[in-house]
Amino acid sequence: MNTAERSPWAWIPTLYFAQGIPYVVVMTLSVVLYKNLGISNTDIALYTSWLYLPWVIKPLWSPLAELFGTKRSWVTVLQFLVGAALAGVALTIPTEKVFQLSLAVFWLMAFASASHDIAADGYYMLALPQHSQAAFVGVRSTFYRLANIGGQGGLVYLAGELTERTGSVVEAWTAVFWVLGGLFVVLAAWHALVLPTPAADVRGPGRSAARGLASEFFAVFASFFRKPGIAVVLGFLLLYRFPEAQLLKLASPFLLDPIEQGGLGLSTKAVGIAYGTVGLTALTLGGLAGGWVISRIGLKRALWPLVLAMHVPNVAFLLLALTHPTSLAVISAALAVEQFGYGLGFTAYLMYMIHVADGPQKTAHYAICTGFMALGMMIPGMWSGWLQDHIGYVPFFAWVLVATVPSFVMAALIKVPEGFGKKAE
């Protein structure tokens, strides 16, 4: 069969599964790996938060995918690069300087992953007609979420299982990253074979067009910052997830730390089940429910219920830190409530970004919004480990609840048109 005629089912599920894996590895697996290796919460939160930077500045180099090569070639080359980086992490884990060396490789992986996001999303729009793009948007989201669950749940569980069998954290995580590296090379080879070659996916003009593109690029940025009420818009984008940005970096360390240090003392396997599988499944269901609510009543009416759903369940972590339950079912239930609420509330954030980006340059403006979204996660996450190390888990989770105030303030200041996001009757 000609590649141009190949069914989207042959490549869309694997493409978006491949998009999700490196992100969850950089943002979540790295935290659990470093915690298992005995790195302090201060260093874990500070240095892994810096890994958000490629997603923060992603809009700055996104024009490169337009200038050089085709989207298809970018996708396959970057996937091979991610596979090599995963194998590189496996090589660094048995070394004495594992923290420094693995961080350097994670940086490479983060830039490759952010670049792959640009190329894959651009390729998706070129390879499918518009009606098919809409039909497969749910498939994209589902397989991206499955990658998250597989990474944060399945791979963390595998690392815990291998640790128990071998008695060595180093051997266990080395094996996990070798498996991941092999999987990614297979995915890259698969996509090199099966990705269609759409007629619209032509090689970019190269350096000759760089100057004209640069002026257009700055014009796009300028038009974004001329939007009405841009100060409030940026405040909302940066502060809506202010408490969650701090909580996220300490969630896995809290679950793994022994009870005498204020944690719950769970095994790595148990964290893979409770947080990586049950929690992420609840997060996915919350996102679906939030989208349904907005489609029924519109973002303006749904905003405050979704804001409360986002932040009030953070009290679950404070209660866990105060009571230290030993039942995995109880812990999983508490995490499911918190993650379901987060999924609900995050849909309001995504829909507001769509509203902000609306206009003739919506794609570029949405990319700028996602950069500010990543910045809002990066900066608070950097100090969260230091803060927790100095005050302990109970005061830290109490502070997270106080940190919801800026989010509430910004939610009160934004303006949303009546009926925006509501499905037409």
- Global confidence as pTM: 0.85
The answer to whether the beta carbons of residues 85 and 105 sit under 8 Å apart is yes
User: Computed from CA positions of residues 71, 72, 76, 79, in that sequence, does the dihedral angle turn out positive or negative?
Assistant: positive
The answer to whether the beta carbons of residues 194 and 2 sit under 8 Å apart is no
What's the average model confidence in pLDDT over 88-117?
Answer: 94
What's the average model confidence in pLDDT over 55-69?
Answer: 73
> How confident is the model over 296-335, as pLDDT tens digits?
888 899 999 999 999 999 999 999 999 999 999 999 999 9
Distance CA 244, CA 360 (A): 32
Distance CA 189, CA 200 (A): 23
Instruction: Give me 229's structure tokens.
Output: 């009420």
Percent of the chain with pLDDT over 90: 58
> How confident is the model over 103-152, as pLDDT tens digits?
999 999 999 998 888 888 778 777 877 666 656 765 777 788 888 888 88
Question: Which of 83-92, 232-241, 271-280 has the least mean pLDDT?
Answer: 271-280
The answer to whether the beta carbons of residues 336 and 278 sit under 8 Å apart is yes
Per-residue pLDDT, 366: 80
What's the average model confidence in pLDDT over 54-80?
Answer: 81
Instruction: Give me 169's structure tokens.
Output: 């954290």
- Count of CB atoms within 10 A of residue 375's CB? 19
**Is the pLDDT assigned to residue 230 strictly greater than 70?**
yes
Distance CA 266, CA 287 (A): 27
Distance CA 26, CA 302 (A): 33
- Count of CB atoms within 10 A of residue 9's CB? 10
- Residue length of the chain: 425
Instruction: Give me 201's structure tokens.
Output: 């996916």
Reported as half-sphere exposure (CB side, CA atoms, 13 A), residue 101 has a value of 13
Distance CA 357, CA 193 (A): 35
Query: Which residues have CB under 8 Å from 146's CB, separation 6+?
Result: 17, 20
DSSP class of residue 65? H
Residue 240 pLDDT grade (very low, low, confident, very high; cuts 50, 70, 90)? very high
Residue 371 pLDDT grade (very low, low, confident, very high; cuts 50, 70, 90)? confident
Residue 2 pLDDT grade (very low, low, confident, very high; cuts 50, 70, 90)? very low
What's the average model confidence in pLDDT over 178-206?
Answer: 85
What's the average model confidence in pLDDT over 88-106?
Answer: 95
User: Which position has the token pair 């996220």?
Assistant: 248
Per-residue pLDDT, 1: 42
Instruction: Give me 254's structure tokens.
Output: 């809290």
Find the helix packing angle between 169-194 and 71-92, rounded to 10°: 170
What's the average model confidence in pLDDT over 390-398?
Answer: 96
Instruction: Give me 12's structure tokens.
Output: 């869309």
Query: Which residues have CB under 8 Å from 38's CB, separation 6+?
Result: none
